[in-house]
Amino acid sequence: MTLSSYHINKSCDCPVIFIAYPLPDEKDHVEKILVVAENLNWLVDLLPYFNLSPDNVITIFNSEKTTLFRYPADEEIIGRKVFYHEEKILKHGVTQIIELRDNDGEKWLHAVTPVEMGTHTEDIFICISIPLSILYSPINRQILVNALISISILSIIFFSIWIVINNLFLIPIDKLNRATVNIIKGNYDFRLKPPFGYGELKQLAEVFNLTISTLDKREKDLKKETQKSRLYIRILKKTLNDVVDAISSFMDFGDQYTSIHQKRVSELAVLIAKELGLNKKDIEGLRVASLLHDIGKISIPNEILTKTGPLNDLETQIIRDHPSCGYEILKNIRFRFPIALIVLQHHERLNGSGYPKGLKSDEIHFGAKILMVADVFEAMVSHRPYRPAPGLVEALEELTKNKGILYDEKVVECCINLIRKKREIFTYACHLCNEEKSEKMDNNVSMQS
């Protein structure tokens, strides 16, 4: 668009036309406008050479009907809207010669032509006005010829000025702006191609291309380093999982039951966590905690772990110390999940009857609430050295009877639903139950649904 500001013209103390060019952002919204000011003093100096009559008036308007330039100079008119009779001159927006009366009733001949200033720019109009009174004699008719020649020359000059401004400033800066938008979008392959402006703009383009090349190289180097880091993280995760599995399997040497029990508890705990909608990090943390939840039993003598008869009070207390022992073993390892805390709390109960600290409800980590349900269920469907497995039906009854009392209600319901929907996962427990118990189990599961 072509802009004009009366105040700016005054402050510059010279006739000026402002040409504005929109600079879009990465979303193609115009947030910046480039403004180029064209000083028209050269036009004031040039006009006397056109041999125009002293009564001739040259006016430049924009398409918003604002007066941008007046010769002879008239400070009060610059920046104002055109007069009523001048609106008719701009009405059709084409080259024309029109006879009109001014506000005083005097007849004037107006020769007007538009000058197209580009796609993003408003047109301007150049008008030469001559009083008809001086055109009646043959001698003065030459004034009309001079006026028509003048308006043609001025149109060519202004169009040439626009071409120069457009090519030297507007187009290069627009390209620079679009290149910047590409950089914001992460396209480091974009380059400003020569020819690109002159002087400082050309140097700016060269510096810009060098900057993009540097950023492109750093971006590629960063991607390589990121890929390496991700590979190292995957290796470390794999190593950690292998270490956890090795520690869990190590329990086989002293107590085969504990190792198998931990793996089965881990499988069920992960299934419950997924069903409850926990995120991947929490599920992985719970998996590790479940695999290591009985690691504290390595401090318990093998004779107690494998004892076939009932445990006495001292032996029971030693067994009950294993969550605390497990916590002490794991507390200084920097897991991304509170593994040690869950191991410590997996024998707590909602009503405070658990151990080792007698915690209640909200004091217990939610991961420990999942682990305790999986632990109780697996323990009841598996043999221990000192007792046979109560069975799947009894495990379901225990969880159902004590949900909301000892065990979290949502976790229990989720566990029971999993057994009902995915019974094949728990077939490892079936060989522990006789045919009578299996029939009873089917009836119980049906009742749950």
Mean pLDDT within 326-337: 87
More confident residue, 431 or 388: 388
Helix or strand or coil: residue 35? Answer: strand
Which pLDDT does position 325 carry in this prediction?
Answer: 92
Confidence of residue 91 (pLDDT cuts 50, 70, 90): low
Which pLDDT does position 274 carry in this prediction?
Answer: 94
pLDDT digits (tens, 9 = 90+) for 7-48: 344 445 566 666 666 666 666 666 667 666 666 677 767 766
How close are the terminal C-alpha atoms of the chain, in Å?
Answer: 74
Asked if pLDDT for residue 204 goes beyond 60, the answer is yes
Q: How is the chain split among helix, strand and coil, in percent rounded to 5?
A: 55, 15, 30
Confidence of residue 218 (pLDDT cuts 50, 70, 90): confident
**Angle ∠(321,326,329) on CA atoms, nearest 5:** 130
Confidence of residue 304 (pLDDT cuts 50, 70, 90): confident
Asked if pLDDT for residue 72 goes beyond 70, the answer is yes
Q: What is the mean pLDDT of the chain?
A: 74
pLDDT digits (tens, 9 = 90+) for 118-148: 544 556 788 878 787 776 655 555 655 666 6
Residue with tokens 């626009």: 162
The gap from C-alpha 304 to its chain's centroid, in whole angstroms, comes to 58
Confidence of residue 250 (pLDDT cuts 50, 70, 90): low
Confidence of residue 334 (pLDDT cuts 50, 70, 90): confident
Mean pLDDT within 392-410: 93
Asked if pLDDT for residue 331 goes beyond 80, the answer is yes
Cβ–Cβ under 8 Å, residues 55 and 134? yes
Helix or strand or coil: residue 83? Answer: coil
Which pLDDT does position 213 carry in this prediction?
Answer: 76
Asked if pLDDT for residue 234 goes beyond 60, the answer is yes
Q: What is the pTM of this model?
A: 0.49
Asked if pLDDT for residue 183 goes beyond 60, the answer is yes
More confident residue, 109 or 263: 263
Mean pLDDT within 235-255: 66
Q: What does the DSSP assignment read for 212-226?
A: HHHHHHHHHHHHHHH
Which pLDDT does position 168 carry in this prediction?
Answer: 63
More confident residue, 23 or 81: 81
Domain 2-164 belongs in CATH node 3.30.450.20: yes
Which pLDDT does position 446 carry in this prediction?
Answer: 42
Mean pLDDT within 164-174: 64
Among 91-105, 256-270, 309-323, 325-339, which stretch is predicted with the lowest mean pLDDT? Answer: 91-105
Which pLDDT does position 258 carry in this prediction?
Answer: 76
Percent of the chain at pLDDT exceeding 70: 54
Which pLDDT does position 219 carry in this prediction?
Answer: 77
- Extract the tokens encoding 4: 């004009």
Mean pLDDT within 319-344: 90
Which pLDDT does position 148 carry in this prediction?
Answer: 64
Asked if pLDDT for residue 336 goes beyond 50, the answer is yes
Confidence of residue 445 (pLDDT cuts 50, 70, 90): very low
Position 201, amino acid: L
Among 8-17, 81-90, 383-392, which stretch is predicted with the lowest mean pLDDT? Answer: 8-17
Mean pLDDT within 280-291: 92
Separation between Cα atoms, residue 419 and residue 373, nearest integer Å:
13
Separation between Cα atoms, residue 218 and residue 116, nearest integer Å:
45
Classify domain 254-448 at the CATH topology level. Hypothetical protein af1432 (1.10.3210)
Residue 411: count of CB within 10 angstroms of its CB: 23
Asked if pLDDT for residue 98 goes beyond 70, the answer is yes
Which pLDDT does position 317 carry in this prediction?
Answer: 92
More confident residue, 360 or 21: 360
Sign of CA dihedral 318, 324, 329, 330: positive
Asked if pLDDT for residue 441 goes beyond 60, the answer is no
